Structure formats: structure tokens, C-alpha cells
Amino acid sequence: MSLVNYSQCWEDTQVLKKALAVKGDDVVLSITSGGDNTFSLLLEKPRTVVSIDKNPVQNYLAELKLRAAQVLRHPEYLEFLGVVESDMRYEQYGRVSKHASADTGGWINANPGVLKRGIIHCGKFEKYLYHFRERLLPLVHARQTVHAFVTQPSMEEQISFYETIWNTWRWRLFMRIATNRSLLTTYARQSGAPGYTDAPNESYRAQLERLTYRSHLKRNYYVRYTLTGAYGEVLPEYLSEENYAQLSAIEPSACEFSHCDLLSYLRSSADNTFTKYNLSNTFEYLSRYDIPDVWREIIRTAKQGAVVAYWCNRVEHVPPPAIAHIVVQQRELEQELKALDRLYFYKSFHVCTIDK
């Protein structure tokens, strides 16, 4: 598998950090995806993070981001990743490559084009967003209108702009087209994505509308990137200048990358190993036959009081009733954190504590 599904993480870092509350003695199991959330958890200085993904290319991408931070100055790092424009990425990679693993180097050598615009733009999902911005969105709003929407000075002005200028029939129509089941399955989501069995296409537009009424888009880099292709004034946590010294000082031993599916990795792990689990939206990709086994292995590998966090996009999942006395849902915390979520892709967020 050589395709990058996600070159960024599309689960809210702040929500994840509040849910897991990582501390210095924690051993964290994290789904890699674009690597961003694994890095944010590393910035909390746990004992170790094990970052796993069944697609090895996701781990190569994340390792490259991490190794680049150990070599490049902060302005160069932003250039290399594609946060800002640059024609120096191939020269910068020449320096970074000396510190990357052979597998990561082999992937880049076979796919040098991922460096051209910067590696944060090379994912299947990010390419879909690019085509949405370049082909569909201009049929709805001019670039200056898009920029104005995501840079309104206050929430009151943002809501007024949305109601009077943004929310046109064209926007509703083209958003419905852009979130068509077939388009998303073919061009945006990773292989094995679940079907849309319980939500209409327009739900993404409705969720974005609700987000517009509660999140100031000027400071929401997720939505700004979706609509403009750039983060704006506020960068993801691992990219911020104030965190860069710590990111660049992370020892290789602090983060282990493993190319493995979740169930296989858990089965290979010892009892009472992990204290925190970042499981992204993994349960949507599991068969109903594997889900009980995954929970059984989570319980076995978790230390007493371990915390499990995960999202649900189109297919809702809660722990099976048979283990509800062990996997305890933190419903008040879930609702509190879902209200803070800066993304509009997910229908629910779950936080569970292991009590065994």
C-alpha cells in the first residue's frame, strides 16, 4: 500500500488532549493517520507513545514529519511541510533524509512528487479538498468571499455573514454534490470505509452550519484549510513556534511506529500495558465479528483506569452492553468535549474508562 490516505489529522487535537489528559507516566497507544495527534500527545511528555497504522505509508509520513523537526529550523520546517510556499523542499529533504529510516527514504525515493507542494497536502483526502476548492467552490463563492467568511472579526459578524451572504442555494446544492456518497467513497475516504447507512448527504452541511454558530472560524485552522487550503493565523499545535523546541527534542525512543492493524497489535501486546488509547474512528472500519475481540484485547492490555477515546463518523458505535460494567462511558465528558469540537465530520465522540 503506497497511498497516503490522510496527510493531516482530522480529529480535533484539543478535544483528544482533554479526553486523555496524558501525564508523564502514561503509555499511549495512538492511531497514526497523519501523525499530528500522535505528536500532540508526545508534547504532553508521556513515558512513551506507540503509533500504529495498518497502512505503513502513514507511518513513513509521520516519521518524516518528526525527523524533519529534528533537522530544520522552524521557518524551514513550515516550508518543508507545505505550510508556506517554498522552492527549497528537495534541498531540505536532502538534509532530513540522513535521519530517516530506510523504509521512509525508500517511500520518498519512489514518490518524490509528495514533496513538491509539501507533505501536508499529499493525502487522498487533502487532494479531494483541493479539487473541491478549485473546481466546485468557485462556482458558489468568489475567493474574496471565501476569505471574508473565515476571517470575520467576531462571532456575531461571522453568523451574520453566513446568514446573509454565505448560505445560498448554490452553497447548499454544491455542498450536497461534494458530500455525495459515491464521490466521498471513491475520492476522499480510505479503502474499506463504511457505507453511509444512517445519515443523508446533507448532514455535513448541517454540521458545518452548526459549527459556524459556535466556533470562530478565524481561529479554526481545520475549517480554514478545508475552504482555503491554508491554516491562517493559528497553526496546529505541533507546528506552533512555541512548541517547536520541544517537538524537535523528542527522542526517537519516545515514539515507536508500528505497521499493524489494531487487533493484531493488541494481540501481540502484554497484559496491563497501556494507560491511554487514541483510536481515531477505527471502529467504523472493523467488522462486527472483530469488534468484540478488539474490546476484549483493549481490556486485557489496559491498566486499571485506562482511558479510551474515539470518534464516530457515519456509523455509530458504543461498547457492547456485555462489557458496559468494565468499559464505562463518560457521557457528561463526551457531551462537553463534543461541544468544543472544531470539526464537522463526526456525529459523536466517545470517552471510556476501563474499570477491571
Question: pLDDT tens, 18-45?
Answer: 999 999 999 999 999 999 999 999 999 9
What does the pLDDT read at residue 192?
59
How much is the pLDDT for 197? 47
Residue 200: is its pLDDT beyond 60?
A: no
243-268 pLDDT, tens digit per residue, is 999 999 998 889 999 999 999 999 99
Distance from C-alpha of 293 to C-alpha of 212, rounded to nearest angstrom: 39
**284-315 pLDDT, tens per residue?**
889 889 999 999 999 999 999 999 999 998 78
**Count helices and strands in the chain by DSSP H and E runs:** 17, 7
What's residue 47's pLDDT?
Answer: 96
Query: Length of the chain, please?
Result: 356
d(CA 314, CA 203): 10
- Check pLDDT > 80 for residue 199: no
pLDDT attached to residue 252: 85
Report which of 177, 173, 58, 207 is spatially closest to residue 126, judged by C-alpha positions.
58
| 71-129 pLDDT, tens digit each | 999 999 999 999 999 999 999 999 999 999 999 999 999 999 999 999 999 999 999 99
pLDDT of residue 194: 54
260-271 b/e (C-beta count within 10 Å ≥ 16 → b):
bbbbebbeebee
pLDDT at 193: 53
| Mean pLDDT score across all residues of the chain | 93
